[in-house]
Structure 1
């Protein structure tokens, strides 16, 4: 099993807009489960600690091949368009168990 974790900072915007962006990211990314083969789970979470990243995605996939397929899956690419429109920083970690 592969765990794929992504951290983001949202672009500067009024708080209500940032909150709406975070909710939409959560809805879109978690909605990929069942649509992308090999994507077993996905959860988007907001950070409450000042100074850290604003949001993170914690997802699990069956294996490395599923992660590679996820990255180019049309449904994921559509979601990425929105995500890239509202974030300014990104970091990722992938590991196998």
Structure 2
């Protein structure tokens, strides 16, 4: 990251619509695989961690994604990237709810 262009973190969580815990686990696995497959194709992606929930709790979400981009411009480009659009088509029918937060990362000295 450049000291004058802050990186940006992109965090998303999903609740899935599978009728059972096992169905949601299978949906989550499909999502994780899709994000992992897209990883090398995303310009400006510095870090990515994606995983399915492993602790069953009443307020738990099913899948979480953390991505760090070199700049806001890279995050904006990702929104229209073919890999991202394909993931959105996969996830859309499976999701009940989605939550997102994006924040600037401190620049490197």
The two structures share one fold, judged by TM-score above 0.5: yes
| Residue in 1 that maps onto 2:4 | none
CA distance in 1, matches of 2:64, 2:30: 13
Q: Is the contact made by 1:40 and 1:61 (CA closer than 8 Å) also made in structure 2?
A: yes
Q: For residues 61 and 23 of structure 2, what CA distance do their matches in structure 1 show?
A: 17
Partners of 2:8 and 2:94 in 1: CA distance: 26
Contact between 1:6 and 1:90, CA under 8 Å: does it hold in 2? yes
Distance 1:42 1:13 in 2: 29
1:33/1:41 contact within 8 Å kept: no
Gaps of 5+ in 1: none
Q: Report the TM-score, using the length of structure 2 for normalisation.
A: 0.81
SS, match of residue 38 in structure 2: coil
Figure out how many residues of one structure are paired with residues of the other and give that number.
97
TM-superposed deviation, 1:50: 2.7
Tell me which of 88, 94, 98 is aligned to 1:80. 88
Give, in whole Å, the separation in 1 of the partners of 2:52 and 2:71.
26
Higher gyration radius (CA): 2
Runs of 4+ in 1 over 6 A off after TM superposition: none
